[in-house]
């Protein structure tokens, strides 16, 4: 695929200081190995926390105290008492998922349209702009998953589901490319570790301003974006009541709306990626709802 979009004519070649962007996550969040993840071993290891990957342990350790404090101080969500054996977010009285019900569907930190904050800044290279934003989306989503890690278990989420008849399978990188069914925590851990390894790879995300982005950068980022969308979709489907209990739904909604707006602006997401092949299901319904309300275009 070609570039995301053409640079405006007549502009000087941008040369931003990429050293200000943290292209490599902190050591505690590095993947435990550079070889392709053994998804079968990962799945078998998940029930015992002593065998979790280093990235999962990092998320677990960094979020444990925060999660405990939040659970002690917050009231129970309107959908009922959160249960770790629950496989989907409770529905509202109208039969809709809670994230589609008022007032939660309107909860946001940013009011209005997201067009302005997704617009390419003047004199900034589009690849650099995409790289900075996808790193931020990954980091913020990783933090949310870290807080919800205790609630997303093999027992509560035995499949990577994002709605009725919407189940995702995982393809091991560098392996046979055979799709395998994983529990949600195993799928997300494998996905986030894979994305982290790409973000840490200077051949994919150059850390030096003298290096150019590879020609494969647009297609690589599109793949990363679709995988992040699946993580968002699962958290909305299975854990939105936990998000409500922590009272961070404005933060999570704003992050996802920004993610969708940016993905559509730079053609990182197709409409079918969001809505699903079978029509408007899961977060696809949320995307349609936000478009009708003028939050997204």
Residue 48's CATH number:
1.20.140.30
Which H, E and C letters describe the chain, residue by residue?
A: CCCCCCCCCCCCCCCCCHHHCCCCCCHHHCCCCCCCCCHHHHHHHCCCHHHCCHHHHHHHHHHHHHHHHHHHHCCCCCCCCCCCCCCCCCECCCCCEHHHCCCHHHCCCCCCCCHHHHCCCCCCCHHHHHHHHHHHHHHHHHHHHHHHCCCCCCCCCCCEEEECCEEECEECCCCCCCEECCCHHHHHHHHHHHHHHHHCCCCCCCCCCCCCCCCCHHHHHHHHHHHHHHHHHHHHHHHHHHHHHCCCHHHHHHHHHHHHHHHHHCCCCCHHHHHCCCCCCCHHHHHHHHHHCCCCC
Is 66 inside any structural domain?
A: yes
Beta bridge partners of residue 67, listed in sequence order:
none
* Residue 96 in tokens: 């809709």
258 is in an annotated binding site: no
Contacts of 35 (CB under 8 A, 6+ apart): 174
Pairing assessment for the beta strands 170-171 and 179-180 based on DSSP bridges: antiparallel
- Spans of the chain, pLDDT less than 70: 1-90, 93-94, 172-177, 277-281
234 is in an annotated binding site: yes
Angle, vertex CA 264, rays to CA 109 and CA 103, nearest 5: 30
The reported pLDDT for the residue numbered 116 is 87
- Asked if 198 and 204 touch (Cβ cutoff 8 Å), the reply is yes
Q: Provide the number of structural domains found in the chain.
A: 1
Residues listed for the chain: 297
Rounded to whole angstroms, the Cα distance separating 167 from 241 reads 20
Is 170 inside any structural domain?
A: yes
Is 23 inside any structural domain?
A: no
Is 28 inside any structural domain?
A: no
Is 14 inside any structural domain?
A: no
Q: Which residue has the tokens 């150019």?
A: 212
Q: What is the extent of the structural domain holding 243?
A: 39-80+89-292
The reported pLDDT for the residue numbered 208 is 85
Rounded to whole angstroms, the Cα distance separating 226 from 274 reads 9
151 is in an annotated binding site: no
Rounded to whole angstroms, the Cα distance separating 30 from 55 reads 6
The reported pLDDT for the residue numbered 172 is 67
pTM of the entire predicted model: 0.72
The reported pLDDT for the residue numbered 280 is 58
Beta bridge partners of residue 170, listed in sequence order:
180
Rounded to whole angstroms, the Cα distance separating 204 from 198 reads 6
The reported pLDDT for the residue numbered 254 is 96
Residue 140, CA atoms < 13 Å, CB-side half-sphere: 16
Is 34 inside any structural domain?
A: no
Is 119 inside any structural domain?
A: yes
Is 13 inside any structural domain?
A: no
- Rounded to the nearest 10 degrees, what angle do helices 249-265 and 283-292 cross at? 80
Q: Which residue has the tokens 């200077």?
A: 202
Rounded to whole angstroms, the Cα distance separating 212 from 205 reads 9
């Amino acid at each position: 695929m070609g570039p995301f979009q053409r640079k405006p004519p007549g502009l000087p070649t941008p040369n931003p200081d990429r050293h200000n962007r943290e292209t490599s996550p902190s050591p505690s969040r590095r993947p435990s190995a550079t070889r392709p993840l053994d998804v079968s071993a990962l799945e078998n290891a998940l029930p015992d926390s002593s065998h979790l990957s280093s990235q999962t342990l990092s998320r677990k350790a960094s979020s444990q105290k925060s999660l405990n404090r939040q659970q002690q101080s917050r009231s129970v969500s309107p959908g009922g008492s959160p249960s770790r054996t629950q496989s989907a977010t409770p529905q509202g009285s109208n039969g809709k998922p809670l994230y589609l019900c008022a007032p939660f569907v309107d909860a946001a930190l940013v009011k209005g349209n997201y067009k302005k904050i997704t617009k390419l800044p003047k004199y900034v290279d589009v690849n650099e702009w995409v790289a900075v934003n996808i790193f931020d989306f990954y980091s913020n989503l990783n933090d949310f998953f870290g807080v919800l890690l205790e609630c997303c278990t093999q027992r509560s989420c035995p499949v990577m589901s994002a709605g009725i008849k919407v189940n995702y399978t995982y393809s091991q990188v560098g392996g046979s490319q055979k799709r395998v069914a994983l529990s949600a925590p195993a799928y997300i851990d494998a996905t986030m570790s894979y994305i982290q390894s790409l973000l840490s790879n200077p051949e994919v995300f150059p850390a030096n301003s003298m290096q150019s982005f590879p020609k494969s950068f647009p297609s690589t980022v599109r793949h990363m974006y679709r995988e992040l969308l699946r993580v968002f979709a699962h958290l909305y489907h299975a854990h939105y009541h936990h998000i409500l209990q922590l009272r961070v739904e404005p933060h999570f909604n704003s992050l996802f709306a920004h993610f969708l707006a940016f993905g559509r602006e730079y053609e990182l997401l197709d409409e079918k990626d969001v809505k699903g092949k079978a029509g408007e299901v899961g977060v696809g319904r949320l995307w349609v709802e936000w478009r009708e309300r003028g939050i997204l275009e």
